Amino acid sequence: MADQVFKNFINGEWVDSSSGQTYENRNPADTSDLVGVFQKSNAADVKAAVDAAAEAYKKWRLVPAPKRGEILFRVADRLFKEKETFSREMTREMGKVVAETRGDVQEAIDMTFYMAGEGRRLFGMTTPSELKNKFCMTVRQPLGVCGFITPWNFPMAIPSWKTMPALICGNTVVIKPATDTPKSVVNMVRVMHEEGIPAGVVNMVTGAGSTVGQPLIEDDRVRVISFTGSTEVGRRVSETCAPKFKHSCLEMGGKNVQIVLDDADVDLAVDGALWGAFGTTGQRCTATSRLICHKNVYGEVIKKLGERASRLKVGNGLDETVQMGPCVNEDQLNTVLKYVDIGKNQDGARLITGGARLTGGAYSKGYFVSPAIFADVTPQMRIWREEIFGPVLSVGSFSTLDEAIELANDTVYGLSASIYTRDINKAYIAMRDVYTGIFYVNAPTIGAETHLPFGGTKETGNGHREAATAALDVFSEWKSIYVDFSGGLQRAQIDNQ
């Protein structure tokens, strides 16, 4: 049992919570499989972690950025070498199929290599002064201690999106992993420690949002909070940060749409809808939850979707032949079943396949549901408007491209969207007019790459972006520097009239 107990990581050491309490994390595909026992931490643990991060910041910010990058390069190489082990452990703790968890770990590898390279860039600019004998430039400066509250659906990728750019900019970090998926963050932090990240630079505290996340947000020494999760919780994070002018980067909900025009390759569009809707069991902020088809191909798409979805193999994600794993926990399963009931009864949509809990045999100890597809869904229905975060796809129809774009934008969210068409002109119109942070042409609504900004509009985010160089703007402040070597007083615009 001892090798299954995992501790907090504070100031370079693995330590028990001061609460003396722990909690179990079990495999959502087989609850008899104990993934590990983790610390049920409290505000005192958070304070100790922030203490360590604040002290370590004094030296870490002065380490040359290329040297910080060399450490991250070693971390990326280690993550690559342990990819298969980390992937299989991730499938055990959150359920998605092992092919997808390999992709999750690969994102962390990609992000770490990418940010390691930024250690030799972190570009500012030089620009001419309007006055003689004066030099002007801009540089980035770190903020200090950064607090991260990360989700369970991408338990290594998303922590890496936050951690690596923060570190390369010279900040120190405290991570609160999702309670359902702490082991993947333990794995990432262990590698960082073993590859030379100094004590106190990276800290991890496990436990609930109320006892760990809230104290982390409220600590005045934490200068930026990066949160990924629901819009409801993100709004509370923003409200807590605002009075103290604390920076916050919020990545929240989505109700993403795939548009299928009547000139589209229908089979390709069906491939995209199935992957977008049921990859990660629909538990992605970018998941395809709305599909709208031109009326001329609507019937064909519905028929092929139903046939294909009903044949998807659901089961334990460690089985390489399985195509969709379980919901992450019982609450998430019950949410999915609730919305299936709403779709059938309150909304009156037509359920063409799935939506039932799978029980017995290999399903008896897990949180499994068959992939659900509703047809004849209209914008007034709750399953059209509300984020479900599960394997439920709502399908509707349209007559013109303008109508499709209006339907696509008919949501409080604005994360991802896609269009399937062979008409390049219509593709560009949709690219311009669909108001989202991410847009795909002839591809599903999932599949972001680490070297492009990730994030959304409206109630999906608060204007910041993760990944790519855009992440550097979250974890650094610009400083404008003026060097006057004229030997006299120059009064800017006063002396330049």
Active site residue 285: yes
- Report the alpha-carbon distance of residue 395 to residue 48 in Å, rounded: 50
Give the three-class secondary structure for 8.
strand
Nearest to 71 by CA among 183, 159, 202: 202
Nearest to 386 by CA among 374, 394, 376, 398: 394
Sign of CA dihedral 305, 310, 313, 316: positive
Q: Are 333 and 438 in contact (CB under 8 A)?
A: no
List, in sequence order, every residue forming a beta bridge with 350; answer none if it has no partner.
375
Which phi and psi angles does 123 have, rounded to 5°?
-65, 140
Cα→Cα distances 130→46, 252, 399, 485, Å: 49, 43, 57, 14
Q: Are 83 and 109 in contact (CB under 8 A)?
A: yes
CB-neighbour burial class of residue 424 (10 A; exposed 0-12, middle 13-18, buried 19+): exposed
Active-site hit among 89, 251, 459, 466: 251
List, in sequence order, every residue forming a beta bridge with 369; answer none if it has no partner.
357
DSSP for 364-379?
TTS--B--EEEES--T
- Report the alpha-carbon distance of residue 437 to residue 415 in Å, rounded: 5
Active-site hit among 146, 169, 249, 285: 285
Active site residue 251: yes
129 CA to centre of own chain? 41
Q: Are 488 and 133 in contact (CB under 8 A)?
A: no
Which amino acids are annotated catalytic?
Answer: 251, 285
